[in-house]
C-alpha cells in the first residue's frame, strides 16, 4: 500500500476531529421516527437505536480518540524518556529501582492494568488519560534507558564530560538528539495502541459516558442490534481499523527512512 493513502486517512482523521470543534454538530439530537434507519440519502451512515445521526457522533468520536491519543502519547513519552534517561545516565541505585519498577509493570498485561486503574479512578476521559499514561510510560523508559546505556560511553559524550559539561547539558545536547529517531517511531506506534485502548475502555463503559460519543461506546451500543442494524457497528469499526492500520503503515515507513539514514551516516563516519 502506498504511503499517500494512510497519510490521507490520518490527515482526514485529524481534520475531522478538529472540525468537530468548529462545525455546528448535534450528535445528541434524537429523531424518534428514524430509529435504526439504515444508511440512505437523508443520512449517509444511518441512525442509531435512539434515532441519532451517526455521522456527527462519528466525528465527535474521532475528536475523542485524537484527544486521548495526543495526551497519552505526549505525557507517556515525556515521562518515560525523562525517567529512563536520568536513570541510565546516573546508574547505581536509581537504575536498579527503575529496572525493578519496569519489571513489576511488565508482569501485568497493559490493557488489564489500564482497566483496573480506570475502574478505580472512575469513568471519564480524564481518568482514561491518567490510566493509559500510567501504563504507557514503561515502554519509553525502557527504550530511552537502552539508548542511553549504549550512547553514554561514546567519544563525544566522554569529551563533553572532560570539558566540564554538566549532566543536564550532556543529556539534552548530546544524548537526546541521538535518541530522537527511535523515540519518534515508538510514539508513532503508540498512537495506534492508544486508539485501540481508548476504544476498549469506552466499550467496557470506563471511557466517556453517555450521551458523549466515542467509537468504542458506539460499537458497544450497536452490538445489541447487529442482525437488524449492522451499520451501528460497521461505521465506528471501520474508522478504528482505518486509523490503526494507517498509523502502523506510516510507522513502518518512518522506521525504514530513519534506519536508512542511520546506516548511511554510519557508512560515512566509520
Q: Per residue of the chain (270 residues), what is the pLDDT tens digit?
A: 567 888 898 899 999 888 888 888 888 999 999 999 999 877 889 999 999 999 999 999 999 999 999 999 999 999 999 999 888 888 888 888 888 888 888 887 888 888 888 888 888 889 999 999 999 999 999 999 899 888 888 888 888 878 877 878 888 888 888 888 889 889 999 999 999 999 999 999 888 888 888 999 999 999 999 999 999 999 999 999 999 999 999 888 888 887 655 545 444 444
Distances in Å between the Cα of 153 and the Cα atoms of 86, 150, 160, 178, 211 are 15, 7, 11, 13, 55
Residue 154 lies in a domain: yes
Residue 172 lies in a domain: yes
Query: Does residue 173 have a cis peptide bond before it, meaning omega lies within 30 degrees of 0?
Result: no
Residue 248 lies in a domain: yes
Cβ atoms of 14 and 66 closer than 8 Å: yes
Distances in Å between the Cα of 221 and the Cα atoms of 23, 54, 114 are 25, 12, 22
Cβ atoms of 11 and 46 closer than 8 Å: no
Among candidate residues 248, 235, 246, the one with its CA nearest the CA of residue 48: 235
Position 59 scores a pLDDT of 93
Position 169 scores a pLDDT of 84
- Residue 270: CB atoms within 10 A of its CB come to 4
Domain that residue 90 falls in: 15-20+46-268
Residue 25 lies in a domain: no
Residue 26 lies in a domain: no
Among candidate residues 165, 161, 243, the one with its CA nearest the CA of residue 198: 243
Residue 4 lies in a domain: no
How many Å from the N-terminal Cα to the C-terminal Cα in the chain? 35
Position 233 scores a pLDDT of 94
CATH code of 135's domain: 1.10.3720.10
Position 2 scores a pLDDT of 67
The answer, as to whether pTM is greater than 0.85, is: yes
Residue 201 lies in a domain: yes
State the total domains in the chain: 1
Position 7 scores a pLDDT of 87
Position 266 scores a pLDDT of 46
C-alpha cell at 231: 451499520
**Which element (helix H / strand E) includes 124?**
none
Matching residue, cell 509493570 = 105
Position 261 scores a pLDDT of 54
Cβ atoms of 218 and 57 closer than 8 Å: yes
Residues composing the chain: 270
Amino acid at each position: 500500500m502506498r504511503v499517500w493513502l494512510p497519510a490521507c486517512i490520518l490527515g482526514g482523521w485529524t481534520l475531522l476531529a478538529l472540525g468537530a470543534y468548529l462545525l455546528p454538530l448535534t450528535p445528541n439530537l434524537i429523531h424518534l421516527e428514524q430509529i435504526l434507519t439504515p444508511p440512505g440519502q437523508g443520512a449517509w451512515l444511518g441512525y442509531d437505536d435512539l434515532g441519532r445521526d451517526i455521522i456527527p457522533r462519528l466525528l465527535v468520536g474521532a475528536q475523542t480518540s485524537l484527544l486521548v491519543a495526543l495526551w497519552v502519547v505526549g505525557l507517556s513519552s515525556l515521562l518515560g524518556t525523562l525517567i529512563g534517561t536520568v536513570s541510565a545516565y546516573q546508574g547505581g541505585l536509581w537504575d536498579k529501582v527503575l529496572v525493578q519498577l519496569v519489571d513489576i509493570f511488565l508482569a501485568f498485561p497493559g490493557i488489564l492494568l489500564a482497566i483496573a486503574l480506570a475502574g478505580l479512578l472512575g469513568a471519564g476521559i480524564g481518568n482514561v488519560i491518567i490510566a493509559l499514561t500510567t501504563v504507557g510510560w514503561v515502554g519509553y523508559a525502557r527504550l530511552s534507558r537502552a539508548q542511553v546505556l549504549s550512547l553514554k560511553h561514546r567519544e563525544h559524550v566522554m569529551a563533553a564530560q572532560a570539558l566540564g559539561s554538566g549532566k543536564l547539558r550532556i543529556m539534552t545536547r548530546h544524548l537526546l538528539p541521538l535518541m530522537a529517531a527511535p523515540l519518534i517511531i515508538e510514539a508513532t506506534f503508540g498512537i495506534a495502541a492508544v486508539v485501540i485502548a481508548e476504544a476498549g475502555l469506552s466499550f467496557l463503559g470506563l471511557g466517556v459516558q453517555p450521551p458523549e460519543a466515542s467509537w468504542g461506546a458506539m460499537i458497544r451500543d450497536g452490538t445489541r442490534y447487529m442482525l437488524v442494524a449492522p451499520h451501528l457497528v460497521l461505521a465506528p469499526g471501520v474508522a478504528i481499523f482505518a486509523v490503526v492500520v494507517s498509523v502502523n503503515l506510516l510507522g513502518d515507513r518512518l522506521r525504514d527512512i530513519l534506519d536508512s539514514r542511520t546506516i548511511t551516516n554510519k557508512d560515512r563516519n566509520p
